[in-house]
Amino acid sequence: MLWDSFHVGSGQFGLVRVVTGADATSVANTMKRDFAGLGMSTTVIAVVIGQFIQIGQSFLGVFEAFLALGLVVGIAGLGIISIRSVVERRKEIGVLRAIGFRKRMILASFLLENSYVALLGIMIGIILGIDLGYAIATSPGSGVSFVIPWLSLLEIIGFSYGLAVLTTVSSSRRAARIPPAEALRYTE
The pTM of the full predicted model, rounded to 2 decimals, is: 0.68
Angle subtended at Cα 93 by Cα 158 and Cα 186, rounded to the nearest 5 degrees: 130
Whether 160 and 70 have beta carbons less than 8 Å apart is answered as no
Element counts in the chain: helices (H) and strands (E)? 7, 0
Q: How far apart are CA 99 and CA 92, in angstroms?
A: 11
- Domain boundaries in the chain? 2-38, 56-185
Whether 186 and 93 have beta carbons less than 8 Å apart is answered as no
pLDDT in tens, 56-96: 889 888 988 998 899 899 999 999 999 999 888 888 888 88
Task: Provide the pLDDT for residue 1.
Answer: 47
